[in-house]
Amino acid sequence: MSEILLETNGLTKQYGKHKAVDHVNMHIRKGAIYGFIGRNGAGKTTCLRMISGLAKPTKGQISLFGYEGKRLKEVRSRIGCLIEAPGLYGNMTAYENLMIKCKLFGITQKGYIENILETVGLGDVGKKKTKHFSLGMKQRLGIGLALVGEPDLLVLDEPINGLDPQGIAEVRDTISFLQEERNMTVLISSHILEELSKIATDYGIIHEGTLLQEMTREELFKRCSERIEITLDHPEAAVPVLDGLGFKDYQVMDRSHIHVFERLNDSDVLNSALVKAGIPVRGIGVTSEELEDYFLNLTGGAAHA
């Protein structure tokens, strides 16, 4: 298991009677791109704001680079964040916007700004006023601003939201580059699982303030891949039958489902063996799921517009 860089324990934020974030236990591995997925209003921004130190938790702990409690502020400068729209000065160039932030950080190194512009794919437009930028360029400059000071953890709140397909691809490429070439850990939120599925190595799914699941990319793809799905009342009773038939690649998903990821043509054999063992099967069949459907089913039906 790789080193955990960020962990939350019972993280909660309450506004009046409403719990925007409710006992979230999140685990982010060093070097991961952690896709934080939830519908609008699920609590993503609130969580990211608490992690970045922009909002105070009502309850719970955050542990960052092994620091927690009062000592957290010693390491908050190692986080770079882009939460909500980047605050850009429209009448200034991309270069000048970055220069202001560098001054605040006391960075005067030659070539520093050019390097960041290059990293976020804005090397050619550094002298252009940002009011003439596309939304995608603005987001990438926002990421560039978050990179000032070389953070170890980058926190990006819906950086892909509202971008056209090219803009999405460019932001994705920038994030992958930062993780692969700069060893940065990235926490990125989105309300569309599919959009992050090309880059995220780990996932956390939040719904109505609660973190429903955390899983690796491999687990996610496995959960959505082609499989025999068995619906029954006591899955644990079926385990010896599966073992007896030589099945190895299967998983008890919950209290009424088993997924079998091998020998997809053997569902008949499996069904009769279960019935013979006195285990009533309510349904059996080969199925797969689109990523987005998986997310929507998990969070209760079709998406709202």
Least Å from the CB of residue 40 to ligand ATP? 4
CA angle 26, 61, 63 (to 5 degrees): 65
Cβ closest to ligand ATP, residue 8 vs residue 45: 45
Stretch in the footprint of ligand ATP (CB under 6 A) among 43-51, 99-107, 212-220, 231-239: 43-51
Stretch in the footprint of ligand ATP (CB under 6 A) among 40-48, 142-150, 248-256, 269-277: 40-48
Tell me if 35 contacts ligand ATP by CB under 6 A. Answer: no
Tell me if 155 contacts ligand ATP by CB under 6 A. Answer: no
Cβ closest to ligand ATP, residue 40 vs residue 288: 40
Stretch in the footprint of ligand ATP (CB under 6 A) among 33-41, 86-94, 192-200, 274-282: 33-41
Stretch in the footprint of ligand ATP (CB under 6 A) among 34-42, 74-82, 95-103, 276-284: 34-42
Strand partners, 11: 24
| 173, 304, 254, 197: CA torsion to nearest 10 | -10
How many residues bind ligand ATP (CB under 6 A)? The answer is: 12
Least Å from the CB of residue 159 to ligand ATP? 12
| Closest by CA position to 83, among listed 126, 131, 47, 34 | 47
Q: Of residues 43, 80, 126, 144, which one binds ligand ATP by CB under 6 A? A: 43
Q: CA-to-CA distance for 99 and 177, rounded, in angstroms?
A: 23
Tokens representing 68 are: 């927690």
Cβ closest to ligand ATP, residue 118 vs residue 214: 214
Tell me if 115 contacts ligand ATP by CB under 6 A. Answer: no
Calculate the alpha carbon distances from 130 to 138, 162, 170, 297 in Å.
Answer: 7, 18, 17, 40
Q: Of residues 42, 146, 155, 224, which one binds ligand ATP by CB under 6 A? A: 42
Tell me if 46 contacts ligand ATP by CB under 6 A. Answer: yes
Tell me if 113 contacts ligand ATP by CB under 6 A. Answer: no
Non-local (6+) Cβ contacts of 266 within 8 A are 228, 245
Determine contact, residues 189/36, Cβ cutoff 8 Å: yes
Residue in the structure block whose two tokens are 């797969």: 288
Least Å from the CB of residue 158 to ligand ATP? 6
Determine contact, residues 202/215, Cβ cutoff 8 Å: yes
Determine contact, residues 107/148, Cβ cutoff 8 Å: yes
Tell me if 45 contacts ligand ATP by CB under 6 A. Answer: yes
Q: Of residues 31, 41, 53, 149, which one binds ligand ATP by CB under 6 A? A: 41
**Interface of this chain with ligand ATP, residues 56 to 95, rule: CB under 6 A:** none
| Residues forming the site for ligand ATP (CB under 6 A) | 15, 20, 38, 40-46, 158, 191
